[in-house]
């Protein structure tokens, strides 16, 4: 792999990837479904950034939207910057598979079944590397399906090398096999090799281990770790598995119903979860050493995408919800640097946007049941009675 220029000094100032206010909605017969609702985050060079959330929370759509692959979706964003520069649609499609590549969830269905795995990697090398081999449709068709890429060509050698890098034994042999001849773990390694073939600086891995068993999962995660350590690749790891997040990620964002509820360094998030949803998630992890009969699930279900509650999407399931929760959310700093929470419980902390508290006084007292004074009288923000049932 070619050496990449390391970012000098503090990387905090200029993230490798910066997403600002990304919104993706899908038009349907019943109206628009907003899958991603105004999320912002940054990924630093060499960082593993986790996005964790339930199924349907918009994690995968986020990934696809960034890459411009959300086929029927309408993607809007204030900015999607890569290396500090905003990428046009055209530029993004040039970067795709090269500078930014993606690993898909299901290795069984993400590889072309009628092409040998070596070809599928070599093709990426030809498209993004400087190997001087034509990528015309006719020569590609001939190479991929009839003659095979010549063993002596650089793209093929690189493909074999990559298979070796991701830990596939006997790569010369394996490169000539079809996806169905490989095991699930092998296929996921092939996917990783394919993602590496364009010399990426950022890999977006969408639940890369969900379809695999636990042993293989550990191996694949190790593989990702090594990539980061060896090549300084940044990784956006999308998962629903908190254990995976804890083991691998440097920073993590918790996503719920299309919004990022809490973003923090991994240790911070696990040690001092601030958002009620994050707390609920962490509480719901079953432990080997406890003898509870019931798991601590979060009551209720994800809101109906056609009928989202106003304000905080989690308020209907939240034990700590109060009147203000039906107001639009802002981002707040929680426990110091690098910890953002979108929750009105934090609104007495400093508002990130203008540095001013939105409402004076602490509302935490309301949670204790000691607060009796109607909120509207004090702040004028909420209607009498509120919307909360």
Partner 1 sequence: MSVADRVRERLATEEGSRVLGIRSDLLDRLVKTIRLDLRAKIGFTIVVLFGLSAVFAPMLAPHDPMAQAFGMLQSPNPSSANPLGTDSFGRDLLSRLMYGARISLAVGLGAVTFGALVGILIGLFAGYYGGWLDDLLMRAVDVMWAFPWLLIAIILVAIFGQGFWNVMFAVGFAYIDDFARLARGEVLSVREEEYTLAAESIGLSDTEIIFEEVFPNTVAPLIVQFTVFTARAILAESTLSFLGLGVKPTTPTWGALLGQGRGFITQAWWISIIPGIAIMITVLGINLFGDALRDAFDVKETET
Q: Comparing C-alpha atoms, which of 208, 220, 340 is closest to residue 268?
A: 340
* Inter-residue contact 351 to 330 (CB < 8 Å): yes
Strand partners, 185: none
Contact status: 266 vs partner 1 (CB under 8 A): no
Of 154 and 366, which CB lies nearer to partner 1 in the complex structure? 154
Contact status: 6 vs partner 1 (CB under 8 A): no
Buried b vs exposed e over 28-51: b needs ≥16 C-beta within 10 Å? Answer: eeeeebbbbbbbbbbbbbbbbbbb
Contact status: 102 vs partner 1 (CB under 8 A): yes
How many angstroms separate the CA atoms of 201 and 98, rounded? 8
Contact status: 180 vs partner 1 (CB under 8 A): yes
What the block records as the tokens of 64 is: 């696809």
Contact status: 176 vs partner 1 (CB under 8 A): yes
Of 57 and 194, which CB lies nearer to partner 1 in the complex structure? 194
Contact status: 109 vs partner 1 (CB under 8 A): yes
Q: Which residue in 28, 32, 88, 145 binds partner 1 (CB under 8 A)?
A: 145
* Inter-residue contact 236 to 248 (CB < 8 Å): no
Near partner 1 by CB under 8 A, which window of 38-46, 176-184, 286-294, 363-371?
Answer: 176-184
Site size for partner 1 (CB under 8 A)? 43
We find the least distance from the C-beta atom of residue 19 to partner 1, in angstroms, to be 17
We find the least distance from the C-beta atom of residue 198 to partner 1, in angstroms, to be 7
Contact status: 115 vs partner 1 (CB under 8 A): yes
Near partner 1 by CB under 8 A, which window of 18-26, 132-140, 268-276, 368-376?
Answer: 132-140
Contact status: 58 vs partner 1 (CB under 8 A): no
Contact status: 295 vs partner 1 (CB under 8 A): no
Beta pairing, strands 79-82 & 31-43: unpaired
Which residues, 184 to 213, sit near partner 1 by CB under 8 A? Answer: 191, 194, 197-198
Q: Comparing C-alpha atoms, which of 97, 116, 209, 223 is closest to residue 159?
A: 116
Instruction: Transcribe 202-271 into DSSP letters.
Output: EEEEESTTTTS-HHHHHHHHHHHHHHHHHH--EEEEEES-HHHHHHH-SEEEEEETTEEEEEEEHHHHHH
- What is the helix, strand, coil percentage profile of the chain, to 5? 35, 20, 45
Contact status: 144 vs partner 1 (CB under 8 A): yes
Name the strand (E) or helix (H) holding 42: strand 31-43
Of 178 and 270, which CB lies nearer to partner 1 in the complex structure? 178
Q: Which residue in 32, 74, 76, 151 binds partner 1 (CB under 8 A)?
A: 151
Of 191 and 318, which CB lies nearer to partner 1 in the complex structure? 191
Which residues, 12 to 41, sit near partner 1 by CB under 8 A? Answer: none
Quickly list H helices, the chain: 59-67, 89-95, 107-110, 117-128, 137-141, 154-165, 171-174, 184-196, 214-231, 242-248, 266-271, 276-283, 364-367, 375-379
Of 59 and 347, which CB lies nearer to partner 1 in the complex structure? 59
Q: Which residue in 104, 231, 256, 314 binds partner 1 (CB under 8 A)?
A: 104
Q: Which residue in 27, 31, 84, 114 binds partner 1 (CB under 8 A)?
A: 114
Of 205 and 298, which CB lies nearer to partner 1 in the complex structure? 205
* Inter-residue contact 162 to 193 (CB < 8 Å): yes
* Residues lying near partner 1 in the complex (CB under 8 A): 64, 67, 69, 71, 93-98, 101-102, 104-106, 109-115, 123-124, 127-128, 135, 137, 140-141, 144-148, 151, 176, 178, 180, 191, 194, 197-198
């Amino acid at each position: 792999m070619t050496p990449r220029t390391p970012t000098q000094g503090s990387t905090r100032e200029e993230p490798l990837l910066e997403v600002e206010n990304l919104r993706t909605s899908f038009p349907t017969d019943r109206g628009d479904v907003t899958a991603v609702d105004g999320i912002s985050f940054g990924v630093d060079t060499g960082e593993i950034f986790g996005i964790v959330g339930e199924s349907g929370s918009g994690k995968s759509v986020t990934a696809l939207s960034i890459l411009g692959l959300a086929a029927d979706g309408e993607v809007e964003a204030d900015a999607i910057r890569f290396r500090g520069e905003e990428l046009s649609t055209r530029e993004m499609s040039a970067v795709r598979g090269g500078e930014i590549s993606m690993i898909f969830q299901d290795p069984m269905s993400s590889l072309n079944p009628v092409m040998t795995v070596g070809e599928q990697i070599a093709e990426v090398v030809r498209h993004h590397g400087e190997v001087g081999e034509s990528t015309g449709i006719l020569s590609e068709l001939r190479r991929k399906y009839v003659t095979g890429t010549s063993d002596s060509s650089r793209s093929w050698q690189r493909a074999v090398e990559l298979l070796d890098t991701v830990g596939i034994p006997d790569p010369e042999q394996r490169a000539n096999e079809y996806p169905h001849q490989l095991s699930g773990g092998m296929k996921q390694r092939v996917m990783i090799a394919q993602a590496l073939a364009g010399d990426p600086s950022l890999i977006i891995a969408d639940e890369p281990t969900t379809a695999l068993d636990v042993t293989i999962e550990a191996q694949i995660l190790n593989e990702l770790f090594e990539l980061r350590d060896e090549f300084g690749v940044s990784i956006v790891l999308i998962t629903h598995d908190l254990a995976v997040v804890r083991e691998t990620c440097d920073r993590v964002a918790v996503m719920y119903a299309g919004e990022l509820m809490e973003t923090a360094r991994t240790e911070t998030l696990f040690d001092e979860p601030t958002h009620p949803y994050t707390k609920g998630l962490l509480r719901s992890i079953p432990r080997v050493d406890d003898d509870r009969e019931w798991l601590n699930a979060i009551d209720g279900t994800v809101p109906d995408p056609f009928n989202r509650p106003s304000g905080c999407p989690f308020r209907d399931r939240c034990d700590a919800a109060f009147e203000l929760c039906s107001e639009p959310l802002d981002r707040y700093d929680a426990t110091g640097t690098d910890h953002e929470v979108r929750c009105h419980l934090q609104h007495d902390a400093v508002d990130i946007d203008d540095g001013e508290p939105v409402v004076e006084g602490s509302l935490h007292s309301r949670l204790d049941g000691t607060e009796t004074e109607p909120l509207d009288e004090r702040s004028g923000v909420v209607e009498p009675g509120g919307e909360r049932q």
